[in-house]
């Protein structure tokens, strides 16, 4: 990162920056070199699981020090790869 850019970033931490914004000239993400993905890389889903199965997943995750949601994603990924 260029030194000037780094200084500019730290200026935001120590100065009131509201006056720097000109509401008559709104910026788009593209104007500042950013581009948002067209779709989110992840999506929220809701699924009903038997309580016993969910408790088993939580226990497995706890044994492996992995959040159970991440463990479910790993299992789903492995299952899909196996089915292909």
pTM for the model stands at 0.54
The three-state DSSP-derived secondary structure of 51-79 is: HHHHHHHHHHHHHHCCCHHHHHHHHHHHH
- Looking at residue 26, the DSSP 8-state letter turns out to be P
CB 72 within 8 A of CB 57: yes
Whole-number pLDDT of residue 8:
60
Tokens read off for 75: 């299992």
Mean pLDDT of the chain: 85
Whole-number pLDDT of residue 2:
52
Query: At residue 57, does pLDDT exceed 90?
Result: yes
Query: What SS3 class is residue 44?
Result: coil
């Amino acid at each position: 990162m260029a030194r000037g850019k780094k200084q500019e970033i730290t200026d935001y931490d120590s100065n009131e920056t509201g006056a720097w914004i000109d509401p008559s000239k709104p910026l788009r993400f593209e104007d500042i070199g950013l581009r948002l993905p067209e779709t989110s890389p992840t999506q929220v889903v809701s699924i009903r699981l038997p309580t016993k199965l969910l408790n088993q997943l939580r226990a497995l995750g706890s044994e492996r020090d992995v959040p159970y949601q991440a463990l479910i994603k790993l299992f789903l990924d492995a299952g899909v790869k196996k089915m292909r």
